[in-house]
Amino acid sequence: MLVCIATLCTYGQQTLELKVKKSSDSPNTASEHLYLIEIVNTKDKAQEFTIVSENKTCQDIQQSKQVQLKKQVLTAQNKNVFKTGVIKGKSSKDFYIKISRNPDTPLGKWNCIEIRAISDDTKTISNTLTIKSQIPDPKNFN
């Protein structure tokens, strides 16, 4: 999978900031990729949060050239499923986003996954990260 990572910044400082700490080391053709994400609390007090990851339409690519991929939020320590947490003021935590595809996923397609943190009342409290992936078709390699 060819991957582009973008950060959507919003006006006004968010309580939490998401950053890609490490991109996937897997070859583009692998069916599974792990991204290490850091979440930073920019405020002084602790903040509860839920990580949301969603398949979204890639803005610059025709809909017919896009596919949905599976995604999971995992802990950085033991890679168990993780979604909700509390982060102390002026501190950070790491977690993984695992993006995978089924063996029958069409090749030569694209996918965009948005990742953000929300509060208990579903208000967005972080910037939005977008991971843009291409599922390459090996027969198009030189």
pLDDT per residue as tens digits for the range 65-82: 999 999 999 999 988 999
| pLDDT of 8 | 46
Q: Right CATH number for 2-140 from 1.10.10.10, 3.30.420.10, 2.40.110.10, 2.60.40.10?
A: 2.60.40.10
Alpha-carbon distance of 21 to 90, in angstroms, equals 17
Question: 109 versus 12: which is more confidently predicted?
Answer: 109
Q: What is the mean pLDDT of the chain?
A: 90
| pLDDT of 14 | 86
* Bridge partners (DSSP) listed for residue 133: 3, 111
- Per-residue pLDDT tens digits for 103-132: 999 999 999 999 999 999 999 999 999 999
**The whole model's pTM is what?**
0.88
Alpha-carbon distance of 16 to 92, in angstroms, equals 9
Identify the band that residue 28 occupies on the pLDDT scale cut at 50, 70 and 90: confident
